Amino acid sequence: MKFYSTRDKSLRSNLSDAILEGLAPDGGLFMPESFSKIDSDNFASFPETAFEGAKQLVDGAIEESQLKSICDDAFDFEVPLVELSPNTYILELFHGPTLAFKDFGARFMARMVAALKTDSSKLTTVIVATSGDTGGAVANGFYNVPGIEVVLLYPKGKVSPLQEKQLTTLGGNITAVEVEGTFDDCQNMVKKSFADSEIRNNLNLTAANSINIARLIPQMLYFMHSVHKLGKKDLVFSIPSGNFGNLTAGVFAKRLGLPVKKFLAATNINDAVPQYLQSGDFKPKPSVRTISNAMDVGAASNFERLMDIYDQSLEKIKKDLAGFSFTDEQTQTRMKKLYDETGYVIDPHGAVGLLASDNWLKENPGDTVVLLGTAHPSKFIEVVESTLGFTPKIPKQLADLQDKKKVVSPCGNEFEEFKNILLKK
Ligand SMILES: *Cc1c(COP(=O)(O)O)cnc(C)c1O
């Protein structure tokens, strides 16, 4: 299997280069050049389904037995499907070590990078800028993986206290850099590092955000798992979205033959994609802060992949996607209503997806919607407290972090300073 660039389709890379380089040489995103058809009758437990699905795109880049053990090892946690109402289910993707769906992508990518490295004596440096959830999942996924060093940058004072603990307490091969600046400043430092010849000459760099195809492959798998669990075809998926990695992965699964009726693109007021689906104009805007902050993205990076797969055609994309966006007030009202009616505590991102599901079912009452539960409510403890009036139960993974000690490399807002940290000068 080769992967082409969304910008220049004549550029082709194999999976190893696509994963180890992250971005295509022309700045485009990597796309699989073909989709063979999966057989959904082979789906079973999550790791078994994962192997069946992943093998379509991995396509021999590593041995099948090795891929099988990567799937078994990376996805060693529960993926429950919980009924919220007769036509609505939530697929809880937040039972991994950092309690967000990003564990799927990060844990799979870490193992693939280790497996694909040809020169094991050479250190690979993974850099990632994070506004919260990604950094924790990447740090955890790559922790103690031999031959890998992780440098993660986060904006000082702008991640939640629990998220900061997830980023800064592991030590070992993980270095957390606390930047005096915003998330965008962190992201810029990452981009400059890739463009800096001195850094490139000294380090083997790769990027671990959702532009990396290694994060999308495992995210296809839970769409397949839902079809297996429910034993129903033509499901509708509601997807709380920011950078649209999950939704793009769902579209990949559909291309692989998974019977999906519709994808609901559910956003907070950072609604450039739902707006596009209405008007045909894609107008990225600076992001606005909301209570579902992991979706505060102004310019969704995977939109370029969606446009590519639907031939830049609004008409084609609308056949598969419907867009919805909601305010914080609507989100909190829905969290409260669900809790009052069922006792289920949903996080604010999930509530945005639930609102989209409600709207869809009003028009299409016979459909079955699977909502992707992207994070555990205890990750957004302040919002849950102010909305529901009590503190959600904190799972062991997070509770254990409270007593751990934060270790960071402080960094001003100058690229040179970050560069010195990276080159250990
Ligand atoms: C990252 C994240 C999202 C957005 O996912 P995308 O794949 O970027 O659209 C939604 N919810 C939570 C909790 C997240 O951490």
Q: Verify whether ligand 1 is closer than 6 Å to residue 334 (CB atom).
A: no
Tell me how far the alpha carbon of residue 295 lies from the centroid of ligand 1, in angstroms: 6
CB 222 within 8 A of CB 74: no
Domain segments of the chain as ranges: 78-97+215-394
What is the secondary structure of 186-243 as a DSSP string? HHHHHHHHHH-HHHHHH-EEEE-STTSHHHHHHHHHHHHHHHHHHT-SSEEEEEE-SS
Nearest one of 2, 29, 35 to 308, comparing CA atoms: 29
| pLDDT average, residue stretch 197-224 | 90
Choose among 116, 113, 155: nearest CA to 134.
155
Q: Are 99 and 378 in contact (CB under 8 A)?
A: yes
102-116 helix and 64-74 helix, angle to the nearest 10 degrees: 140
Return the minimum-mean-pLDDT range out of 62-66, 208-212, 213-217, 260-264.
208-212
Enter the pTM of the model.
Answer: 0.93
Q: 248: Cβ below 6 Å to ligand 1?
A: no
- Tens digit of pLDDT for each residue in 145-166? 888 999 999 999 888 888 899 9
**Ligand 1 centroid vs 362 CA: distance in angstroms?**
25
Between 215 and 194, the higher pLDDT residue: 215
> Which residue's alpha carbon is at the smallest distance from atom 14 of ligand 1?
294
| Per-residue pLDDT tens over the stretch 220-234 | 999 999 999 999 889
Atom of ligand 1 nearest to the CA of 239: 9
pLDDT score at 199: 93
Closest ligand 1 atom to residue 349 Cα is 11
- Classified by CATH at the fold level, domain 78-97+215-394 comes out as Rossmann fold (3.40.50)
